[in-house]
Structure 1
Amino acid sequence: MADTIRGRVKVEQGQKRVRLYLQNKLVADTLRPLLVWEVPYYPTYYVPATDVLADLKPTGEAEHSPSRGDAQVHDVLIGGLTAAGKARTVPESPLEELRDAVRFDFDAFDWFEEDEPVYTHPRDPYSRIDVLASSRHFRAELDGVVLADSPNSMILFETGLPPRYYVPITALNQEVLRPSETVTHCPYKGAATYWSVQVGDQLSKDLIWIYRTPFAEVQKIGGLAAVYNEKVDIYLDGVLQERPKKRY
């Protein structure tokens, strides 16, 4: 299948086996997933209707998209379980490939690409991650207070995102760290845990994160900590870096 682009939506035939589960009940199993870039930054999956094992019950609700057409909202029923309003179909979409496909809300199900779990959204085949050792001196500050200071770092370069600088936990200013219960998942790196930062009376939530057991592809950042570039002042070899703007 050739790529299709209409408006800002790109559709591409995926090559991976994709399965999704609802509490261990197999909802769909396909060798023909569609990667659909509804936003420019990452894709979502649409599953051919013939590869859906669950029952889809229309709710009577509809959602409009100028590029994808009017979507019909469905409940997903499988093995006595119901995921209310967690599937959509677009039978009259201007994008022909989507007319016989189902879009499942990613966060409502457990997803697998081949036999490995995937979190947050599908992996973008056009994204690349490189982790490179750097001897540039790294320092991060918030309101003039040093948060991290290290003579070197591991720099993670990810397509479409600003570089992230990972340093040893011992390079962090332990006095300002406050534990956080937040856990997030990245489809490329794994599960991250966080610290908030207390500077004076101001608590900045979830400002520093760490991947303690990252995926094999990015093992070099395992056990290292990174600070949000967008929210702090970062110096490399003493030169203040411009703060990147949030992408989404």
Structure 2
Amino acid sequence: MPDIVQNPFAIEPGTVQRGLTRVRALSAGEVVADAAVPLLVWEYSYAPRYFFSPGHVRARLRPAGPGKPSRVLGRSELFDVVLGDRVLAGAAQRYPEAPVEGMRGSYTLTWSAMDTWLEEDEVIHFHARSPYVRVDTLHSSRHVRVVVRGEVVADSHRPVVLTETGLAPRYYLPRVDVRMDLLSPTDAVSYCPYKGTARFRALTVGGVRVPDVVWGYETPLREAAGVTGLVCFWPEKSADVEVYVDGERIGQP
């Protein structure tokens, strides 16, 4: 009998396919690239990169020398992105020896060099979105209990279970079921192109402070709207944080 597949949706590095939605990259309000059908290229399995044909690049590209080679895509060439008097140094790349011939003349843009990325008319956060990632939020009656150093800090029979392709389920709890007096905001923030912006909290029990072990989404993206205002514990971050679901401990470091 074959082994049970843990993640059947891992994309093989080097995979190239045409996208299905319009993607635009902007800098200071100027369109740098605009493609109804960009290329999606997986240099790594967790997320693709957008590649644009020369006709989809609105800015002038100026050769800027060799770039860092890719184990999957081969050698790279850097280009400055020129927008009038502004220059985004080395913000475009081309891989002229890529294994897929159709992408050799296309350009990818450094994500952080652009201030806005749009899929159709919705802002994309953090990195390109994969068409194979799905996010669901499900109301549940499972019993979720969080214990830290022997003290119960959360106890709920009404979690919302968030599932995301390739990742472990996460249990989001109503604040009325959580000892919010033990939590304090931190400066930590994370960005997800599927869920939105998460803000973190520290947990202090018995004089011991565990930073950034709780997070939540105040204004999540549409796919994660079901966890708006709820909080989630991160048991993999600290052995002190014990999360039990129906009596079974999950997510140990």
* Alignment of 1:49 onto 2:58: no
Conserved? CA contact 2:136–2:223, under 8 Å: no
Aligned match of 2:120: 114
TM-superposed CA distance for 1:184, in Å, is 2.4
TM-superposed CA distance for 1:200, in Å, is 4.6
Aligned match of 2:8: none
Aligned match of 2:68: 63
SS for the counterpart of 2:47 is coil
Residue by residue over 1:175-228, the C-alpha shift from the partner in whole angstroms, topping out at 9 and shown as x without a partner, is 321211233221111222221223455433221111112222322111111112
Output the amino acid matched with 1:233. Answer: E
SS for the counterpart of 2:99 is coil
Aligned match of 2:20: 15
Following the alignment from structure 1 to structure 2, what is the Cα–Cα distance between the partners of residues 88 and 172? 48
Question: Which runs of structure 1 show a deviation greater than 4 angstroms over 4 or more consecutive aligned residues?
Answer: none
* Alignment of 1:141 onto 2:154: no
Aligned match of 1:170: 176
TM-superposed CA distance for 1:63, in Å, is 1.3
Following the alignment from structure 1 to structure 2, what is the Cα–Cα distance between the partners of residues 116 and 139? 36
Conserved? CA contact 1:88–1:102, under 8 Å: yes
SS for the counterpart of 1:9 is coil
Aligned match of 1:93: 98
- Judging by fraction of residues, say which structure has more strand: 1
Residue by residue over 1:127-154, the C-alpha shift from the partner in whole angstroms, topping out at 9 and shown as x without a partner, is 1112111111111234444342212200
* Alignment of 1:25 onto 2:34: no
User: What is the TM-score when the length of structure 2 is the normalising length?
Assistant: 0.86
Aligned match of 1:238: 247
TM-superposed CA distance for 1:26, in Å, is 0.7
TM-superposed CA distance for 1:8, in Å, is 2.4
TM-superposed CA distance for 1:66, in Å, is 2.5
RMSD (CA atoms):
2.0
Conserved? CA contact 2:14–2:41, under 8 Å: yes
Conserved? CA contact 2:201–2:214, under 8 Å: yes
Following the alignment from structure 2 to structure 1, what is the Cα–Cα distance between the partners of residues 174 and 130? 29
Conserved? CA contact 1:132–1:156, under 8 Å: yes
Farther off after superposition, 77-86 or 11-20: 77-86
SS for the counterpart of 1:155 is strand
Alignment CA distance shift 1:58-1:205 (3 Å)? farther
Query: Where does the alignment leave 5 or more consecutive residues of structure 2 unmatched?
Result: 1-10
Query: Where does the alignment leave 5 or more consecutive residues of structure 1 unmatched?
Result: 1-5
Output the amino acid matched with 2:52. Answer: V
Percent identical pairs in the alignment equals: 39
* Alignment of 1:37 onto 2:33: no
Following the alignment from structure 2 to structure 1, what is the Cα–Cα distance between the partners of residues 210 and 64? 41
TM-superposed CA distance for 1:70, in Å, is 0.2
Following the alignment from structure 2 to structure 1, what is the Cα–Cα distance between the partners of residues 118 and 47? 17
Following the alignment from structure 1 to structure 2, what is the Cα–Cα distance between the partners of residues 64 and 78? 26
Output the amino acid matched with 2:51. Answer: Y
TM-superposed CA distance for 1:123, in Å, is 1.8
1:214-233 residue pairs with structure 2 within 5 A?
Answer: 214-231=220-237, 232-233=241-242
Aligned match of 1:189: 195
User: What is the TM-score when the length of structure 1 is the normalising length?
Assistant: 0.88
Following the alignment from structure 2 to structure 1, what is the Cα–Cα distance between the partners of residues 13 and 35? 25
TM-superposed CA distance for 1:167, in Å, is 0.7
SS for the counterpart of 2:220 is coil
Alignment CA distance shift 1:38-1:200 (3 Å)? farther
TM-superposed CA distance for 1:11, in Å, is 0.7
